[in-house]
Amino acid sequence: MDLEALKNERDKMKEVLRGLENEQRQLDAQQKSLRQREIRAKRTLEALETLIGLAAEPDADPQA
């Protein structure tokens, strides 16, 4: 291979790398968003479980 062919191959690989880095950033952002949704869902579930537990207590008197 001559020098120009090597340089062209290098430039192509740099472009591929830029594309991969961009894709990785997008996936990282998507993962962060999904993680936030997971945390919100877990907090909602915990709150509902707490409310269910309070409502199910035998000594809970709604008229008190």
pLDDT score, position 57: 86
Q: What is the mean pLDDT of each run of 10 residues along the chain (64 residues)?
A: 95 98 98 98 98 85 60
- The residue count of the chain comes to 64
3-state secondary structure labels for all residues of 2-64: CHHHHHHHHHHHHHHHHHHHHHHHHHHHHHHHHHHHHHHHHHHHHHHHHHHHHHHCCCCCCCC
pLDDT score, position 64: 54
CA 35 to chain centre: 4
Q: How far is it, in rounded angstroms, from Cα 49 to Cα 59?
A: 18
Torsion 10-15-19-24 (CA) sign? positive
pTM: 0.66
pLDDT score, position 58: 79
